[in-house]
Structure 1
Amino acid sequence: MRQLVSAKMPDKRGIIRVFDKDCRYLQQVLRLKRGDILDVRIPNGSLVSMQAVGFTKKYVELKLVEGSSKSIERGISATLLQSKQLLSNDEDIASTKIGGCEYWLFQFMTRPQKMDVIIRQAVECGVAYIVPIKGEYSPVSAEKDRSVRWNRIVKEALQQSGSSVATQILEPQTLEQSLEVWRKKCCECSKDVYNTNKPDLTNNCYSFILHEDPEIQTSLFSKITVKPKKLALAVGCEGGIDAEELRKLTSFGFEKIHFNTNILRAETASLYGISVLQFLSMEFESWK
């Protein structure tokens, strides 16, 4: 089901008034009518069911559906009866997983138009975290601040796809910074980050680099030995990934993989790679 991403929390009556572009989206794109039920993602990350109860030329009025709930991955639901708790809860309760697995995309920054496509497709696929990396081969144009545009793309893709995952896109950063983010999530702490840190398989974390070298014969079936809780994929930009960057990634625990297919554009490679990892995770019990 398509959804609305709201910048506002429901008021004490369980009401949200939707103005401007979001109002036009509801009326002209979704063709919402009085009484229709809509999924709404509110600022604390919850996905709640709301009903269209009022229409004017300036706004659409939505109300939390009494007695109904929209469960999300961590077992937290939002209902009108829970509205006081929902409105005061600061805990991050957004769903980050599909089928029990959280997906990360470490994307070396491409030209702006391609990067926009990559972000949109990653959101539609349910990637939890997109980490833009300022790589050695990233174009100069990648240095411009595009956070406003990217956040708009994330919002539109969430609304169009109805994804249950509240995708987050991090600020562009160096490879070292991005690996530190991943370490905090999945890896054992160590003074020598690049030599001794490996994925913590007790947390079922796996990380891979999509590489163009056909000599790489790594089989994902042999590498994923327990059902993953987190899967990360690093994908290069148009010029690929620098040799030193590859060394840092592999020293950190990322493993090179190569799909025996045609040469893929950067925006196709990220979509293809995430899709393969999702299939392996979702069908783990079938093939293992």
Structure 2
Amino acid sequence: MRQLVLSEFPDRNGILVLGGSNYHYLAKVLRKTSGSSVEARLPDGSIRTFRILDITRETKEIRLSAAEENGQSGQNMPDIPSFFPRIILFQWMIKNPKMEQLVRQATEMGVSEIIPVTGERSLFRNEKESYPVKQERWERIIREARQQSGSSIPTGIFNPVSLSEAVRIWNDISGDIPENRKIAFVLTETPLERKTLHEYLGRHIKDGEDIPVCAALAVGPEGGMTEQETETLTENNFLKIHFNTNILRSETAALYGVAAIQNALTELGKWQLKEYNL
């Protein structure tokens, strides 16, 4: 379901006047007209149905009214569905437009936080465009992606950070989460004598343990992470995994990894594992 993502609530009369990108999205993209209805997600995560009262093309403004059907003006929905894991993507910076496409698609998939990392082999260090400009554009891309995909996940994105800062962020996020409810991975380019994704996750369903609610994934740039960067992550409890696929570009590997983790976690109670020595 497409949705309009709002940054403000309607006034006490249920009226909301929108312009700018909101006007463009409703009038130009969705081609809404006066009297049309639109589903909008409010800042508190709830969904409300609005009716378009009028469209003023001269000033490029749209006036909405909270529609009341059967005595109800909307339905409260949680920001994140209870069954959906919180996925945090630590993405080593790659060059635009690949980074922008990655931000868009990760948002559509329901990634909770995207944390760009300026690693040793990151191309971003040589670009002249300032961080604030990129941050503003990324946030606009996220908003558009949520509207297109109907994602209920309020995806957030950080300004690019160093590896040490990325590790601190993960430790802060995961610090209060029990060990059996969180897990972190780092993708490697070469096969290793390590456990597979399902083998690592298998320990969480042994003896009826709870399914992880928070998972992190670290993905390097083109050319991969340096040995020191990988070592830093493993020292901070990131598990090395390698997917037996073709050689993937950084942005493809990130989305493949997110999809694999997301699917494995959401269906963890369904698939069966052998008894592994974990």
1:46 Cα deviation from its structure 2 partner: 4.0
What secondary structure does 2:231 align onto?
Answer: helix
1:259 aligned counterpart, secondary structure:
coil
Q: 2 CA distance for matches of 1:216 and 1:163?
A: 37
Give percent identity, aligned residues only.
Answer: 37
Q: How far apart are residue 222 of structure 1 and its match?
A: 1.6
Question: How far apart, in 1, do the equivalents of 2:126 and 2:96 lie?
Answer: 7
Matches within 5 A, 1:178-217: 178-187=166-175, 200-202=178-180, 204-217=181-194
Q: The residue matched to 1:50 in structure 2 has which SS?
A: strand
SS in 1 for 2:89: strand
2:143 is the counterpart of 1:166:
no
Secondary structure of 2:9 counterpart: coil
Report what 1:5 is aligned to.
5
Q: Which runs of 5+ in 2 are unaligned?
A: 205-210, 273-278
Hey, what's the Cα distance between the residues in 1 that align with 2:50 and 2:213? 31
* Residue of structure 2 equivalent to 1:138: 122
Residue 210 of structure 1 and its aligned partner are, at CA, apart by 1.2
1:205 and 1:231 in contact (8 A); partners too? yes
Q: Identify the residue that residue 31 of structure 1 maps to in structure 2.
A: 31
Q: Deviations over 1:227-274 (max 9, x none)?
A: 110111110111211111111100111101111000001111111110
- 1:86-105 mapped onto 2 (5 Å cutoff): 95-96=79-80, 99-105=83-89
- 1:84 is matched with none
2:254 to 253, 263, 270: 270
| Residues 1:155 and 2:132 are matched in the alignment | no
**For residue 154 of structure 1, what is the amino acid of its counterpart?**
I
Aligned to 1:177: 165
- Whole-angstrom distance in 1 between the partners of 2:75 and 2:222: 40
TM-score, normalised via structure 1 length: 0.82
Cα distance in 2 for partners of 1:72, 1:98 equals: 11
Deviations 1:1-20 (A, max 9, x none): 11112233211112111113
Tell me the amino acid that sits aligned with residue 186 of structure 2.
I
Structure 2 residue matching 1:286: 3-state secondary structure: coil
TM-score by length of 2: 0.85
- The alignment of Structure 1 onto Structure 2 pairs a total of residues equal to 256
Where do residues 233-244 of structure 1 align in structure 2 (5 Å cutoff)?
233-244=217-228
Q: Would you identify which runs of 4 or more consecutive aligned residues in structure 1 move more than 4 Å?
A: none
Residue 85 of structure 1 corresponds to which residue in structure 2? Answer: none
Q: Confirm or deny that 1:52 pairs with 2:72.
A: no
> Shift in Å at residue 279 of structure 1?
0.8
Partner Cα separation in structure 2 for residue 126 and residue 209 of structure 1 = 19
Deviation by residue 1:130-181 (Cα, 9 ceiling, x = unmatched): 0111111101245731111111111111111111111000111111111111
Code of the aligned partner of 2:221: C
* Alignment RMSD (CA, Å): 2.0
What secondary structure sits across from 2:114 in the alignment? Answer: strand
